[in-house]
Amino acid sequence: MTASTAATGIPGYVAGTWNIDPVHSEVGFSVRHMMVSKVRGRFSKFSGQIVTGEEPLNSSVTAEIDLASITTGNDQRDDHIRSADFFEVETYPTMTYHSTGVRVAGDDYVLDGELTLKGITKSVPLTLELNGFGPDPFGGTRAGFTATGEINRKDFNVNFDAPMQNGGVVVSDKITLHLEIEAVLAG
C-alpha cells in the first residue's frame, strides 16, 4: 500500500503500512498486588504491524509479544511469572493480538481484537488514542498511538492464587494493559 493523506479530519493522518518500532514503544501492564498497591511490568521484545486504511475505521493491527521478555524490576518475580504458575513460557512463548475492527465509541476510537495467551483466544477491546503522524529526522514518517484495556487473567488460564490472611489474594484477577506505540511507515 502506498502512503497517502486521507481526508479523515485527523490532522496529518497518513494511510499506509507501519512497522512497530520497539525501541520507541512500550507494551506494559499493571496489576493490584497484596490488595494495597500496583505492580507494573512491561515486555522488552515485541513486534507488529499497523495498517492505517484510507478510512481510519478500515485499519488493522497485528502484534506478537515474547513472554520471556517480561520485566517488573524484580528478577525473582519475573522468573515466577515465566513459570507454569503464570505464563508457562516454555510451552507458550508468545502472546499475540490481531485486530478484528476499529469503531468509534463516543469521543474515542476502540480497537477490537483477539488476544491469544496460553493457547486461549479472547476478544479484548482497546481504547485507542491517535497521538499524531509526522516526519522523522531520518527522512521517514512516524505515527504514535496509545492504547489501554483490561483483561481478567483467569480468562487465559493464569490461575495462580496465593491467599492472604485477611481474605484477599496476592495478585488480583484484573490486569490493566498500557501500550505506547511508535511506528515507522514501511517503504
Give tens-digit pLDDT for 107-120: 889 999 999 999 99
Listed by start position, the domains of the chain span: 4-185
| SS3 at position 9 | coil
| SS3 at position 65 | strand
Task: Give the pairing type, strands 60-66 and 26-33.
Answer: unpaired
Alpha-carbon span 50 to 63, nearest angstrom: 9
Contacts of 107 (CB under 8 A, 6+ apart): none
Give tens-digit pLDDT for 13-68: 999 999 999 999 999 998 765 455 678 999 999 999 999 999 999 999 999 999 99
Alpha-carbon span 156 to 87, nearest angstrom: 9
CATH of 4-185, one of 3.30.450.40, 2.40.128.110, 2.60.40.10, 3.20.110.20: 2.40.128.110
User: How many other β-carbons are positioned within 10 Å of the β-carbon of residue 149?
Assistant: 20
**Closest among 179, 129, 182, 147 to 28, alpha carbons compared:** 179
